Homo-oligomer: A and B are copies of this chain.
Amino acid sequence: MRSDKRQPDQLRPVKIQTNYLMTAEGSALIEVGHTRVLCAASVEDSLPSFLRNSGRGWVTAEYAMLPRATAERTPREITKGKQSGRTHEIQRLIGRSLRSVVDMEALGERTVVIDCDVIQADGGTRTAAITGGYVALALAVKKLLEFGVLKRNPLKDLIAATSVGVVKGASLLDLCYEEDSAAEVDMNVVMTGAGEFVELQATAEKLSFKDDRLLEMIALARKGLAELFELQKAAIQGK
């Protein structure tokens, strides 16, 4: 039995509050259990230098945690003057994942920045950021289409992410912080709405593992992702 009484293949309750910010082109506050991430999409005219005059656009992401998102206060990264390796790793993952479903020619010469700020952290912040970040991106794109800035939809598919882990020998979907800390294996899966992998990162924190375990974990992830895709669609359509 899991600490919050979930079944091994059960997601935590997920809520996506759209347009949380009146300032941003698109925004979503996603809650996955106690984890809360505010995702904001900003459409900017600038482009990274390697894309200038290419006719193509860019999507990038930034990730941060508020200092008191965690049970013990975490000092702000600005105090040290530099971002941690963990932050770098996560924001690169979010950006890469979102870009995989964007037709950059349809987006045209503009950058969409997805800011993912963790308000409260209870495990799975990077996967929540991808799932919520996609909603913020989709809402911004919707607005650009409505205003005629974009002629055709640059979003080729949905994209969402979840985690799976092995805790005391059992494969579990969507780890909370307590489970994550005790996990023998930890895996993040990013998948398209069509059910294909975009990223798959499995780490044996305490115990190496074999192919059959890998396939079992993938099956769990696939189940959770199917539910997340439905929630994303409903949120984007404003239901």
B-contacting residues of A (Cβ < 8 Å)?
A: 21-24, 27, 34, 38, 40, 42, 44, 62, 64, 66-71, 73, 76-78, 81-86, 88-89, 91-92, 96, 100, 113, 115, 117, 119-121, 191-192, 194-204, 208-211, 214-215, 218
Contacts and interface: CB of A to CB of B under 8 A. Distances in A.
A85 B88 contact: yes
Given A42-B68, A211-B215, A199 B194 contact: no
30 contacts: A21-B68, A21-B119, A22-B34, A22-B120, A23-B70, A23-B120, A24-B68, A40-B66, A40-B67, A42-B68, A42-B73, A44-B73, A62-B67, A66-B115, A68-B115, A73-B113, A78-B82, A78-B83, A82-B82, A85-B85, A89-B92, A96-B203, A192-B208, A194-B208, A197-B208, A197-B209, A197-B214, A198-B203, A200-B201, A201-B202
Given A82-B78, A89-B92, A210-B197, A68 B203 contact: no
Q: Give me the 4 closest cross-chain CB pairs, A-B, nearest first.
A: A85-B88, A196-B208, A40-B68, A42-B73
B71 A204 contact: no
Nearest to A73: B42
A128 to B, nearest CB: 16
Contacts of A67: 40, 42, 62, 113, 115
